[in-house]
Chains A and B, each alone.
Chain A
Amino acid sequence: MSELDPTYYLYLSALLFSAGLFVVVSKRNVIFVLIGIELILNGANLLLATFSRINLNAQIFAIFSIVLTVCEVAIALAILLNVYRKYGTSNLDELQEISNE
């Protein structure tokens, strides 16, 4: 019945953060970049949840950050929808070329 060492969760949150960073840097689709941002924020939330055993305020902070993430995704997808209607692509490199013209 022994519990796992909680430091595994810290390592998992580090992995979530770096995998999200990899996705944000390497993938070229806007929705993929949003998925990477979700991974990064989930890494931060897992860290906060692990440390909420020491200080309960961490858990409250994590709940606030989840709500703010939902706002961010809703706004980002509305903006993406407008960009797609105007330029017909959701590829970051093509959008960069359009804005350079």
Chain B
Amino acid sequence: MIQIIQYFFLVLALIGIGVIVKTSNVVHAAYALALVLVSLAGIYVLLNAELLAIVQILLYAGGVVILLMFGVMMTNRGKTTKLISQSKNSFLALILSSAVFTGLVYLFSNMPEVASGLNQSKSQIQEIGISFLTEHIVAFELIAFVLLVALVGAAYLAKISSNE
């Protein structure tokens, strides 16, 4: 049963990746990105990383995709109804990315001792919460500050030019 769910999320992610690579419509690509992100959240749950799945849904599927949609809306004020992206150097990009893919797969398939260690799993959400507030407290506070500064900075950047 769990294997069927795992294959389901894998296939969903593959469909999303395929759509993003194939399409030239930016809105379709953003929807396909949402599909990939949600299926990755499902995979995180299956990997017993529930907190990561929640953060993924909240920040990626809820935040980043909406931001990208706003970007599409705000940079498409012309007469056209679709935002079509041109492609260039597709063949070169295909060669480059398939070379990287082959190299990574070769790397991953040649580490049996690491792969065997991957099979033990239990949910560790409590340990993560404790280590956020003890071992990684400085990074935790800094990331909150960075997020605040980035969002205020983004609002400021978008605001100034509207007054010109």
Q: Flag if A71 contacts B21 (CB, 8 Å).
A: no
Q: Flag if A56 contacts B127 (CB, 8 Å).
A: yes
Q: Flag if A35 contacts B33 (CB, 8 Å).
A: yes
Interface of A is mostly: helix
Per-residue 0/1 for A49-88: is the Cβ within 8 Å of any B Cβ (1 yes, 0 no)? 1111110110110111011111111110111111011100
B111 to chain A, nearest CB (A): 9
Contact of A35 among B30, B40, B49 (CB under 8 A): B30
Q: Flag if B101 contacts A66 (CB, 8 Å).
A: no
Q: Which of B96-122 contact A (CB under 8 A)?
A: 96-98, 100-101, 104-105, 108-109, 114-115, 117-121
Q: Flag if B3 contacts A3 (CB, 8 Å).
A: yes
Q: Flag if B128 contacts A22 (CB, 8 Å).
A: no
For residue A4, which residues in chain B have a CB less than 8 angstroms away from its CB? 2-3, 6-7
B55 to chain A, nearest CB (A): 5
A27 to chain B, nearest CB (A): 5
Per-residue 0/1 for B33-50: is the Cβ within 8 Å of any A Cβ (1 yes, 0 no)? 100110010011001110
Chain A residue total in the interface (Cβ 8 A): 73
Question: Does any Cβ of A come within 8 Å of B146's Cβ?
Answer: yes
Contact of B157 among A23, A46, A66, A75 (CB under 8 A): A75
Question: Does any Cβ of A come within 8 Å of B80's Cβ?
Answer: no
Whether A81 touches B88, Cβ cut-off 8 Å, given contacts A9-B43, A29-B26, A74-B154, is no
Contact of A39 among B1, B20, B161 (CB under 8 A): B20
Query: Bound state CA distance, A84 and B55, in angstroms?
Result: 31
Residues of B within 8 A of A (CB): 1-3, 6-7, 10, 13-14, 17, 20-21, 24, 26, 29-30, 33, 36-37, 40, 43-44, 47-49, 51-52, 55-56, 59-60, 63-64, 67-68, 70-72, 74-75, 83, 85-90, 92-94, 96-98, 100-101, 104-105, 108-109, 114-115, 117-121, 124, 127-128, 131-132, 136, 139, 143, 146-147, 150-151, 153-155, 157-158, 160-162
